[in-house]
Amino acid sequence: SSEVLEAIENVIQDVLKSLAQKKAPVLTLANRSDWRNIEFKDSVGLQMIPHCTTKEIRSDCPRSAPKFALILKILSMIYKMVQSNTYATKRDIYYSDTLLFGSQSVVDNIINDISCMLKIPRRSLHILSTTKGFVAGNLSYTEEDGTKVNCTCSATAVTVPSNVQGIKNLISHAKFVLIVEKDATFQRLLDDDFCNKLSPCIMITGRGVPDLNTRLLVRRLWDSFKIPIFTLMDADPHGVEIMCIYKYGSVSMSFEAHHLTVPSIKWLGLLPSDLVRLNICKDVLIPFTKQDQNKLASIQKRPYIACQPMWKKELEIMAASKLKAEIQVLTSLSSDYLSRVYLPNKLRFGGWL
């Protein structure tokens, strides 16, 4: 915490120095959303290059002055929380003055900018992210406050902990981890008792684009157990994008990639080639929108696709057919096809990429 306080004090000192010299204070931030500032490393995923391009948030420019003020406002809130050892969610910060901040996304963005500027992970800034992910299966652990959590014995899923770094005594006999894109599929597999039927496993869903805690938990499971991690996504550009976030990270959070990514993640399904192999009727597939086409084209250009020839092939199949499929299309073969046939066969015969 003294490190965090010192980092914030340094920023404020620079502001005061500028004022003393009768200069307009300026904050320098890394350009987080620029692909030119990102390098791809096989072992880490997407990460920020050391000497990346920056942008200036000036206090004397009408366009950037409001952002300058909001950054200082949130820095002062973080400083107080670190001093008093209290925590707040991004939502709490937004609701402390909704008129001032204007929207939740403004707060989220500034917090990421601050984390990147100070080179300090969000958790150490005493800001908790709201958790929306679920975990189930062969796993038990103790939370920071001493609460024992057992995901094994419950028929319902457990919410991903809001302080993943604080959990300890992780115990599991799982043979693999399965990341499921959507909540509905996750619940269906839970109902089918998938975690115990085939071999003990851990299932996780980020319910769409994963929040920070879900990504941290996937990474923590990988660090703790070194077991294979598979993804089960829709066969569409959005599903592929989500899988890439777990595996390689996202551009906007590339400054924290080494805590968040698991480059060994495998693509288990639903593969575009599976639709052909299983002779899925075209009537249950959905035609691409213009947005889908653009997203797929942008994914195909990303640096990590070049070192994944098998993925590249699958994306080409998807691009050629201009059709997408949700995991639910497997129910057109039989209601429990996913848990009874599809996943057991894939896992038994190595049907992943």
According to DSSP, the residues that pair with 178 across neighbouring strands are: 203, 230
Q: Tell me if residue 95 is catalytic.
A: yes
- Distances from the Cα of 58 to the Cα of 26, 51, 173, 183, 249, angstroms: 5, 21, 54, 43, 30
Residue of 71 and 35 predicted with greater confidence: 71
Which of 95, 246, 337, 342 is catalytic? The answer is 95
Question: In a 3-state reduction of DSSP, which class is residue 269?
Answer: strand
What would the two tokens of residue 198 be? 């085939």
pLDDT at 80: 92
> Of the segments 115-119, 153-157, 236-240, 278-282, which one has the largest average pLDDT value?
236-240
Give the model's pLDDT for residue 334: 84
CA–CA separation, 341 vs 177, rounded Å?
18
Residue 209 · residue 245 · CB < 8 Å: yes
Cis before 270? omega within 30: yes
Cβ-based burial of 195 (10 A; exposed 0-12, middle 13-18, buried ≥19):
buried
pLDDT of residue 1 exceeding 90:
no
Query: pLDDT per residue over 13-29, tens digit each?
Result: 999 999 999 998 888 88
| Rounded alpha-carbon distances, angstroms, from residue 114 to 53, 73, 117, 336 | 16, 11, 5, 47
Range 55-79 average pLDDT: 89
pLDDT in tens, 289-342: 999 999 999 888 888 888 888 989 999 999 998 999 999 888 888 888 888 889
pTM of this prediction? 0.79
CB atoms within 10 A of CB 248: 27
The pLDDT of residue 112 is above 80: yes
Q: Rounded CA gap, 181 and 186, in Å? A: 8
Query: If we measure between CA atoms, which residue out of 297, 255, 304 comes closest to residue 47?
Result: 255
Average pLDDT over residues 227-238: 94
The domains found in the chain, sorted by start residue, are 2-128 (1.10.10.10), 134-349 (3.40.1360.10)
